[in-house]
Amino acid sequence: MVENGHHHPPVMPPPMTIHQPLGAARGPAFPPAEQLLQLNYCIHSNPSWAQTVFLGFQHYIVMLGSVVMIATKLVPTMGGSHGDKARVIQAVLFTSGLNTLLQTLIGSRLPTVMGPSFAYLLSVLTIIEDLMDEDFRSEREKQPEKLVMVENGHHHPPVMAPPMAIHQPLAQTVFLGFQHYIVMLGSVVMIATKLVPTMGGSHGDKARVIQAVLFTSGLNTLLQTLIGSRLPTVMGPSFAYLLSVLTIIEDLMDEDFRSERERFHHTMRAIQGSLIISSFINMILGFSRAWGDFTKLFSPVVIVAYVSITGLGLFGRGFPQLAKCVEIGLPMLIFLVVLQQYMKRLHHRAHPILERFGLLFCIALVWAFAALLTVAGAYNNVGAATKQSCRTDRSYLMETAPWIRMSYPFQWGAPIFRASHVFGMMGAALVSTSTGTFFAASRFAGATPPPGHVLSRSIGFQGIGQLLDGTFGSIVGNAASVENVGLLGLTHVGSRRVVQVSAAFMLFFSIFGKFGAFFASIPLPIFAAIYCVLYGLFNSILNTIFSSPPTVAMIVGTILDNTLDAHDARDDRGVGWWHPFQHRKGDSRNEEFYSFPLRINEYMPRRSLCLALHVYSFTSETTHGFNDANTQHAYNTNMLASAILSICESGGLVLFPSAKASPVYDGMTLNSKVAYFFKKK
């Protein structure tokens, strides 16, 4: 303002005074006015005691709803009574009160009520579902030592049920092993049906390829369960080799053969040679323990993603094949879910039968339904692809399979070695390592996660198994069957003996071809529906994490926010506004809102340790335009001192190795200056 020719600075109005009610505590000297426009009381200001009590009771009523909801949902499913629910509510309220005090006093220091979280519901329901299979004397879990029975006026200790037998009965073991054989048979038939016709093979060739794959799968399964990983994993044909095998088939398409049969045999010999040479990759990785050392770098987060992606292949195989014959595949999917997950709960006697053998019942039921549709002529006027997928008489395996045939080394002829084929198969051998499947199998079998030396051993024997595949004429290499690991979770039976019995079935049906061809004639959409269900059990580890919408939003939002044009859109993302609040001294209000009560802040460690080994050094070449060394020394010293003190003021601590190394700053050594700084603080 200009008055009488003089310039005067503008007179600023006094800051607005925030009047607080009687009995309220004084807030910060400079409250964040932009945040108080809609607030009656901020984090530092307290209402009167009467208002505080009523407002606090209001917060209690709001959080009480979540407590009652969760207890009402969970306690009855756990077998608890109304009294148990009341006691659970009391326990949750007690811990919520403690947690709320902990957070508001020395935790976040924000006015947040710490109550029960709905994010834990899925995990708790999983525990409840897992314990449904166990036998209890009543709906309430009782302590055995506290139970007494009164009979004729005398107290008798309770009669305890005998412990569960360690080994399954022989009949159950046989049926469970046969169930594992049926599950892995689907992959064998799918791979043979896809590859053999493109190689020029006939229906008889497909039957003999299936026999060879079953034979080598039985040998590899026994090898792994006896001296390999020792986990209950079925070693079956791997879909990871399909691309390499198709490349070999495509490469040999240009060559001239006298007949399609000759082309088939030549292609099988080329596949044999590639499998034999590439098997040494896994043997070297395994028996040198290089793979085990590498897996030691895996964290649980990596294993979860690894297992998840491993199981995703079942969806890729299942749903496209199921869609080729919906009238068979969809009923199989629905029946399996309903029978195995719901109908088993109708009666306690039916529970173990349907849980363990429900898959066999569903296969028999839907297979009979498919046979009826075939006989009734439902597929007489449909396309060739639909007939191939839906009819039960289109595999031609029963007509062409031999009654008895034993697989033998180099049954298709001498192996052919070609560098281009071998390198492609080496890549397949690398990606077919079954580490993720072994981790999942250990979880479902009740074993500890496999250590590094076990994984090395298992990968080495997987290489030996691939050598057997090439020697005995399998069409692809082997890997741990993902679908059979899912079956471990479906049946809750992680017995190694069951899997060994399934290997015996593989060897038996590989020799007696007619019997094996009968079960191999099951329509492929039935197997596809099985894979869709088994993946859900295989991937149950992720259900808890990704069933939470806030968690999914946080993960997706964080990834996208930090990867999509993150640097150029820094201001649009609010990073400039957000950044000061992420540091202790970035905003003056951080200390006001989040400091500890009762002067606890003064005793909490806050400074990081910074060790200065080389305090300063300068040379005559870097004089910065100064004429003499003394002036240069003073300049360097003051610059270094300013830098060190700025570190101290921002929370860092500088230590000097000796008194000689401490430069002079404002008439005192820098060590003394830093000590004075800390004393002043």
Same structural domain, 105 and 184? no
Same structural domain, 79 and 211? no
Same structural domain, 108 and 205? no
Beta carbons of 484 and 530 less than 8 angstroms apart:
no
At 112 the pLDDT is 87
- Residue-wise pLDDT for 595-616, tens only, equals 556 666 566 555 443 433 334 4
Token representation of residue 131: 């314990």
Write the single-letter amino acid at 86. Answer: A
- Residue-wise pLDDT for 618-648, tens only, equals 343 444 454 555 566 555 655 655 555 555 5
- Count CA atoms closer than 13 A to 442's CA, side-chain side: 17
At 624 the pLDDT is 47
Give CA 96 to chain center in angstroms: 30
Same structural domain, 107 and 196? no
- Residue-wise pLDDT for 186-235, tens only, equals 899 999 999 999 999 999 999 999 999 999 999 999 999 998 899 999 99
Which residues constitute the domain of residue 389?
Answer: 171-547
Same structural domain, 205 and 113? no
d(CA 147, CA 403): 62
What residue has token string 């050594």?
A: 669
Domain membership of residue 158 (yes or no) is no
Domain membership of residue 215 (yes or no) is yes
Same structural domain, 102 and 223? no
Residue 152 contacts by C-beta under 8 Å, 6 or more apart in sequence?
none
Same structural domain, 404 and 501? yes
Whole-Å CA distances, 392 to 358, 378, 380, 398, 478: 22, 12, 13, 11, 28
At 197 the pLDDT is 94
Same structural domain, 97 and 178? no
Same structural domain, 233 and 349? yes
Same structural domain, 182 and 104? no
At 109 the pLDDT is 78
Domain membership of residue 491 (yes or no) is yes
Domain membership of residue 419 (yes or no) is yes
Token representation of residue 332: 């199989």
Q: How many residues does this entry show for the chain? A: 681
Concatenated DSSP letters of 333-371: HHHHHHHHHTGGGS-TTHHHHHHHHHHHHHHHHHHHHHH
Whole-Å CA distances, 657 to 187, 286, 646, 654, 671: 69, 49, 19, 10, 10
Beta carbons of 371 and 392 less than 8 angstroms apart:
yes
Kind of pairing between the strands at 652-655 and 608-611: parallel
> pTM of the prediction?
0.57
Token representation of residue 134: 């166990």
At 538 the pLDDT is 47
Domain membership of residue 91 (yes or no) is yes
Q: Which residues of the chain have pLDDT under 50?
A: 1-3, 17-31, 35, 142-165, 537-538, 540-542, 544, 582, 607-624, 626, 649-668, 670-671, 673-681
Token representation of residue 632: 């240069």
Same structural domain, 101 and 230? no
Domain membership of residue 53 (yes or no) is no
Same structural domain, 179 and 104? no
Residue 451 contacts by C-beta under 8 Å, 6 or more apart in sequence?
292
Q: HEC string of 66-86?
A: HHHHHHHHHCHHHCCCHHHHH
At 299 the pLDDT is 61
- Residue-wise pLDDT for 133-180, tens only, equals 676 766 665 433 333 333 344 444 444 444 344 556 889 999 999 999
How many structural domains comprise the chain?
A: 2
At 276 the pLDDT is 96
Q: Which residues of 523-561 are buried (b: 16+ CB within 10 A; e: fewer)?
A: bbbbbbbbbbbbbbbbbbbeebeeebeeeeeeeeeeeee
Domain membership of residue 145 (yes or no) is no
d(CA 78, CA 36): 47
Which secondary structure element, helix H or strand E, spans residue 235, and what is its range?
strand 235-237
Domain membership of residue 214 (yes or no) is yes
d(CA 89, CA 95): 10
Q: Which of 522, 547, 572 is the last residue of a domain?
A: 547
Q: Which of 82, 101, 117 is the last residue of a domain?
A: 117
Q: Which of 512, 547, 582 is the last residue of a domain?
A: 547
